[in-house]
Amino acid sequence: MFNREPITTKMDPSNGLNRPLDIVPHTEVKMKDRGQWSNKMEFVLSVAGEIIGLGNVWRFPYLCYKNGGGAFFIPYLIFLFTCGIPVFFLEVSLGQFTSEGGITCWRKISPLFEGIGYATQVIVALLNFYYIIVLAWGIFYLSYSFSWNLPWSSCNNTWNTGEDTISSVQKSLALCNATSPVIEFWERRVLRISSGIEEIGTLHWDLVLCLLLAWVLCYFCIWKGVKSTGKVVYFTATFPYVMLVILLIRGVTLPGASRGIQFYLYPDLGRLADPQVWMDAGTQIFFSYAICLGCLTALGSYNKYNNNCYRDSLALCFLNSGTSFVAGFAIFSILGFMSYEQNVPISEVAESGPGLAFIAYPRAVSMMPISPLWACFFFIMIVLLGLDSQFVCVESLVTATVDMYPTFFRQKNRRELLILVVAVVSFLVGLIMLTEGGMYVFQLFDYYAASGMCLLFVAIFETVCIAWIYGANRFYDNIEDMIGYRPGPYIKYCWLFFTPATCFGTFAFSLIKYTPLKYNNEYVYPWWGYALGWLLALSSMVCIPLWVVSKLSTAKGSLREVISAALSLNNVCSMHNLPANVYIHIYKPVYTISQKFCTVRFLMFFKEVSSAHKACIYLIQNTAGAVKL
């Protein structure tokens, strides 16, 4: 078993020189032990399944409509090219370069900033608690979609109120069937929502079974690591596209579809003067690209060392944004149909988030011929989109934990047991969101735990650590060593200047414009509810400064020595205090000697005065120490 802790090797035992070389071990034995994608397609589909999720379907189209239609693409593209693509590529290439999960990769880059890894994993752990609740709701709706008469299309159900029954007589049947039943099914049958978070109430056991099924599916998707995940994504990452295309074709052929598409794309350039439009664009990029979660690093860490991660990253980024754009046509063509049928402005039917998936779209489906068929298509797509993102988040957390303690978790069946523990704990925590007051708890998690504020905060430190502490040029050297050429300098300058500046500005604006959460823009949480929300948000952000303070306070030596040592790389060869009889000539910053053994970032020739012109190359293996060739 290879030891993944920092390597310290005596380069010259005779003089006691004890300096670690600047290497990141990358051996075939280690990769087999850890796991590796069978082919590039498994990696591409896994990342696509993670980043192309519910936000592409229920958030991006609504933000376009809300923030000026086609004009919204201007701030969206600016954030995409200054933050989205650079950070996405940074995380994928970092994982591939170090072959480490979301925590130990930062330990290798700079011990002082290992807290970045802990921050990302705290966010992922909180996501695991609540994101899968959406899958439970989707499975619940899917189970009802197999009935010929959809239960949310009529007022004659036990959960409908008396007022709704009266309204069906006094008002038009179309208004009742299109509006009231679907809302009452959502609030009174699915959520059975109470009046506030203070009234948690009892569990909904039918939803508990749906949540249990969701976790069982998630567990068996990843229980064998990349061996199982790589095969599952062939279905879970591609089938939603089939559903999306079917819904798109159906949507654009409905009467009134052009009205919805017009509202989706019609540019209102005046909206660009509103700072909130730019804030929405920035947060959407971070949400939809799954950056600052450690997921991309974990998936990239299973790549082969020479995989062209630069080309893959660009292709996946454009695929993600393209999917969001196309999904807007599918969604707003349906909303245009609803607006046409009810003869109301589209603003009255356009919703975002769960409101779109579980109110607006089911309402639209109930108006179509053969409505159960379209309901099944839609909710199958919702379940698969959510399942992909969910099991990759779990994989990220498990990979980070296993890489921290490899000698323990890489024993027989221990990794599977770890996944089981994560699933069981997350299932138990998620039960509180399936109570009568659970929706209020869910909204707290969604608004605070993985907010854009948290992701922006982490992104600032990620780019600063790579570009300024490790060195942007050095990381470009590492990338060149992997893919065989240097990417264009634009991304490097983004890491150095544009990305941290943009993230910091957006982060500051989010603090200045902060507004407390209100459920349905009406219910005000008690003070302790907001305190819980901020506790969720700060639980990830404090990891970075707390780790820095912890490292500095426990280290020995003067403050200058401590900071210098903490900022230095775990595997950097120090050029100071070398013995007098050794001269070092660095011929190339990055030079691959043998991929079979390792990648050495400095090719060094040691010329000893006592042995004239005698050159030695030292290769460092993870366990073998120095090997003289």
Binding residues, as ranges, are 49, 56, 288, 320, 385, 388-389
Tokens 């975002």 locate to: 352
How far is the C-alpha of 598 from the C-alpha of 621, rounded, in Å? 7
Rounded to whole angstroms, the Cα distance separating 184 from 363 reads: 11
DSSP code of residue 149? S
Q: Say which residues have a Cβ less than 8 Å from residue 447's Cβ, sequence separation at least 6.
A: 517, 533
Q: Which two tokens stand for residue 164?
A: 């709704």
What contacts 167, CB < 8 A, 6 or more positions away?
A: 155, 175, 176, 180
Which residues fall in the annotated binding site for Na(+)? 49, 56, 288, 320, 385, 388-389
Phi, psi (degrees; rounded to nearest 5) at 24: -125, 105
**Distance between CA atoms of 517 and 530, rounded to whole angstroms?**
8
φ/ψ (deg, to 5) at 459: -60, -35
Answer positive or negative: Cα dihedral of 38, 87, 111, 222.
negative
- Closest to 551 in 3D by CA, of 568, 534, 538: 568
Dist. CA 358–CA 364, nearest whole Å: 11
The span from the CA of 616 to the CA of 629, in Å, is 7
> Side chain identity at 264, as an amino acid letter?
Y
> E strands within 465-554?
518-519, 523-524
The b/e string for 579-608 (b: 16+ C-beta within 10 A; e otherwise) is: eeeeeeeeeebbebeeeebbbbbbebebee
CA distance 267 to 73: 9
CB atoms within 10 A of CB 443: 23
Judged by phi (left if over 0) then psi (alpha if -120 to 50, else beta), residue 486 lies in: beta
- The secondary structure of 44-93 as a DSSP string is HHHHHHHHSSHHHHHTHHHHHHHTTGGGGHHHHHHHIIIIIHHHHHHHHH
How far is 466 from 444, CA to CA, in rounded Å? Answer: 32
How many of the other CB atoms lie within 10 Å of CB of 12? Answer: 18
How far is residue 425's CA from residue 104's CA, in Å, rounded to a whole number? 24
CA dihedral 400, 401, 407, 409 (to 10 degrees): -120
Q: Which pair of structure tokens corresponds to residue 194? A: 């109470």
For residue 13, give every residue at least 6 positions away whose Cβ sits within 8 Å of its Cβ, in sequence order, or none: none
Q: In angstroms, what CA-CA distances link 87 with 253, 292, 307, 347?
A: 39, 8, 18, 35
Q: Tally Cβ neighbours within 10 Å of residue 260.
A: 29
Fill in the amino acid letter for 609: V
Q: Give the type of residue at 607.
A: K
CB-based contacts of 18, cutoff 8 Å, min separation 6: 8, 9, 10
Host H or E run for residue 146: none
